[in-house]
Structure 1
Amino acid sequence: MRDTVLYVGGFGLPDRTASALRALGNAALLQAAGYRVVVAGKFARIPDPRQQPVQVHGFDCHDLRQPLPGTGEVDYTLFPTSVRALAMHIGPARIAAIMAYNYPGFGLHRLLGLGRELGIPVINESTEWYGWEGVRPVTNVRRILESRWRNNSLAKRAGNFLCATQWSSRRHPGVNALVLPFALDPAWDCWQGPANNDWCGDGDSVRFVYSGSPGLGMHKDRLPLIVDALDRVCPDGGRFRFAVVGMSAPDYLRSVPRHASLLARHAQSIRFLGRMPHRDAVGVLKAADFSMFVRDRNRVSEVGFPTKYAEAATCGIPVLTNRTSDIGDYLVDGENGILLPDCSPASIEHGLARALGMSREQLARMRARASHGNPFAVAAWVPRMQAFMAGLRLPS
């Protein structure tokens, strides 16, 4: 009986990265669809193989680099040795699929060969198309070429393609595909904590939160554009409070030194809260009037769906962002958030001015609408996942 999905990828367990949040949410969805799920990702330090699996949200989790006693540490980006060991440990006849999350090209190529050998379908889950980040030319060239390989020919060879946006799905007609922007379990403990109002200031301020990593050089999320726009719209900072979770002010200034005097002037209105456990970051988000981020519209942003949006929807927090990815399918401008046409300085300033012009009653009504139904709750996606799993194919 093929009742188990082996879910593998470089996500940072238990909740160190946004990719881990997506992976564990998808594991919860697969479980709700009737499957046992075994997860293999990366812990901060490889646990003693004798102490694995480690329980995370009720799932058996292994470290993909060294998942079992007697297995040496393996470079999973190149070799499927650790996946093979886990597959044999579970029993190939029990495995309905190996789901590979944003797997590096060479590793996925060899994983498809393993799937053919063992008679196990492989699901290519691809939600990233990497662009150039920072100043590491060798790393950048490899990442770019491998993500192109994964999103093009390897998607066709796998035959089963799980992606985050319609843009990605349209590129692969004829494959067994599921567009899954995000699935989250609202019952998890990380969503249950209280709001953290320590950073909010007085009751008249409009509260914005940015949470996450803006990428090397602020290329993914254009955080400096937001900071500039806040300063121009409200130079004295008296009408807003902006919390940045995930980096410290020195971290930010290393990338944007020109903002040193601006941050000094806005010491009360712009606060960098640094890295914190996910549950604590959710507490900061729950105290906000808006989750806020902006992104350039390009191939990188069209392939992925923002974790920030799914988290805000799960907490019932309106979002202020621009139109990228499939966000327009979920964010209705003026209803459950503010949707900008683009991330130009003029658009961001206009959106911020709209938010700052809202009364506390208007903000409460928008939050109430954002809290009405979570489109990313696991239960909403079960039928679509079941249909996808019923159509699985072996790799070619």
Structure 2
Amino acid sequence: MSRRANWIAFVGPFAFPWGEPGSRRVYGLVGSLAAAGFDVVVAGGDAGPANEVGLDEIDGPGKVTYLGVGEAPQPGSGLLTSSTQMFLRWGRKTAEWLDRQSPRPSHVVVHGGMAQYMFHLQRWCRRNKVPLVADVVDWNNGRYVRGGVLGPLNLSLKVALVRQYPRCDGVIAISTLLETYYRNHGLPVLRIPPTLDVQNLKVEHHGSSGPPGLSLVYAGTPGRNKKDLLATIIRAVDQARRGGAPLNLRIFGPSPADVRALHGERTLPANVHVLGRIPQYDIPGVLQEADFSILVRRPERSTNAGFSTKFCESLANGTPVIVNLTGDMGDYLRHGVEGYVCRDHSLEALTETLRVASQSTAAERALMRVAARNRALKSFDYRQYGAAIGEFFDKLRR
């Protein structure tokens, strides 16, 4: 496919354009790059498509295409095959794909991958004198990684975070914590929170189709490290109901068996309804049906370094949030305006916040919806970062 000399390769072992949280992160960033006038080719980890496909819904003077280079282990791969791919060959296919491109990209951006992937990518960029930018979105907690703190997976992730990303030509950081860390290493850093196409997201509030009372929703997965305290949310919803607060919670993502396991195998409260997995394109509908989305996390380094996409998606759909503040959330959420701030992640604090939310009037919640949507348009639409990312990349030319 013919392309301009000034184009950017966005690479990593992620699914694209959909399939995982990283997919949405990359989608927002390539949208900003296109808004800045860059042509972008996304070379993801899927086995296909083998040839570039246009992402026509992205607005901007630049165009976005994508293909798969097969870096990620394929579904059904055995442990030995997957381990060999990740720890021995990860990154080779991407470097080989870059070698076949003419003209060479003006920049390479990497999202995800570990030490092995970065080794091949950094070597290619140094040899071809192409600036490499790392998109850094978290700081993993080794206690929750498969194999533990001293396992090969955690060690590989840590090497990338503390040794290889600081040797890139620049960093896009998702949070203030990561921005500060890499800026202190002397790197050019641009902070961009999770972004999406807020402007073209159709928002229609028809009211909840669930049981009567204040409607709450949790949509997502708690993660291997149970960073989302779903068990605390369930207990708080139950306690608030027992205290007279008319509310119900719908959970999308984890299976009923998973939720029961988180709840200690006890019977779930009558006002908690587990609906299981639904397609990603149905998430806006379930968010818009709810009065509030709810999210509670431990305030530790891993959560403060990251930034919840669930938070941004809820505001983009005009659904106020009930959260305890971690990371940069406080920059975008005002208590009683875009939602309610829980003072901490404890059961008692969340129960009290739910009681306050249950006393809100329909008129107050309508104003919160407007404020949530306006906040998302201002802070989480990918177009808002086009000028900043364009200037950032223009300064990183070798």
Which range, TM-score by smaller chain? 0.7 to 0.9
Distance of aligned partners of 1:248 and 1:193 in 2 relative to their CA distance in 1, 3 Å threshold: farther
Superposed counterparts of 1:77-92, under 5 Å? 78-92=89-103
Q: Which amino acid aligns with 1:353?
A: R
Q: Which residue is equivalent to 2:48?
A: 47
Q: Which amino acid aligns with 1:177?
A: V
CA distance in 2, matches of 1:148, 1:283: 38
Distance of aligned partners of 1:157 and 1:342 in 2 relative to their CA distance in 1, 3 Å threshold: same
Superposed counterparts of 1:115-154, under 5 Å? 115-132=125-142, 136-137=146-147, 141-154=151-164
How far did residue 236 of structure 1 move? 8.1
SS of alignment partner, residue 234 of structure 1: helix
Name whichever of 289-298 and 366-375 sits farther off.
366-375
How far did residue 55 of structure 1 move? 4.3
CA distance in 2, matches of 1:137, 1:209: 33
Per-residue CA distance 1:258-285 (angstroms, 9 max, x = gap): 3x32x1x41xx21112111111111100
RMSD: 2.6
Q: Which residue is equivalent to 2:18?
A: 15
Q: Matched residue pairs, number? A: 374
The answer to whether the 8 A contact 1:212-1:246 is kept is yes
Distance of aligned partners of 1:235 and 1:54 in 2 relative to their CA distance in 1, 3 Å threshold: farther
CA distance in 2, matches of 1:140, 1:240: 44
How far did residue 114 of structure 1 move? 0.8
Distance of aligned partners of 1:349 and 1:87 in 2 relative to their CA distance in 1, 3 Å threshold: same
Q: Which residue is equivalent to 1:240?
A: 247
How far did residue 154 of structure 1 move? 1.6
SS of alignment partner, residue 370 of structure 1: helix
Q: Which amino acid aligns with 1:6?
A: A
How far did residue 155 of structure 1 move? 2.3
How far did residue 241 of structure 1 move? 2.0
Q: Which residue is equivalent to 2:387?
A: 383
Q: Which residue is equivalent to 2:79?
A: none
How far did residue 103 of structure 1 move? 2.2
5+ residue gaps in structure 1? 68-72
The answer to whether the 8 A contact 1:233-1:349 is kept is yes
CA distance in 2, matches of 1:66, 1:117: 21
Distance of aligned partners of 1:82 and 1:366 in 2 relative to their CA distance in 1, 3 Å threshold: same
CA distance in 2, matches of 1:140, 1:273: 37
Identical amino acids, percent of aligned pairs: 24
CA distance in 1, matches of 2:32, 2:310: 19
The answer to whether the 8 A contact 1:208-1:289 is kept is yes
The answer to whether the 8 A contact 1:292-1:321 is kept is yes
CA distance in 2, matches of 1:144, 1:211: 27
CA distance in 1, matches of 2:86, 2:102: 20
Is 2:303 aligned against 1:305? no
Superposed counterparts of 1:247-326, under 5 Å? 247-258=254-265, 260-261=266-267, 263=268, 265-266=269-270, 269-326=271-328
CA distance in 1, matches of 2:49, 2:69: 12
Is 2:34 aligned against 1:31? yes
Q: Which residue is equivalent to 1:114?
A: 124
The answer to whether the 8 A contact 2:48-2:70 is kept is no
5+ residue gaps in structure 2? 58-63, 73-81
Q: Which residue is equivalent to 2:171?
A: 161
Name whichever of 161-170 and 363-372 sits farther off.
363-372
CA distance in 2, matches of 1:346, 1:338: 15
How far did residue 149 of structure 1 move? 2.0
Distance of aligned partners of 1:129 and 1:359 in 2 relative to their CA distance in 1, 3 Å threshold: same
Give the alignment's TM-score, normalised by structure 2.
0.86
The answer to whether the 8 A contact 1:195-1:284 is kept is no
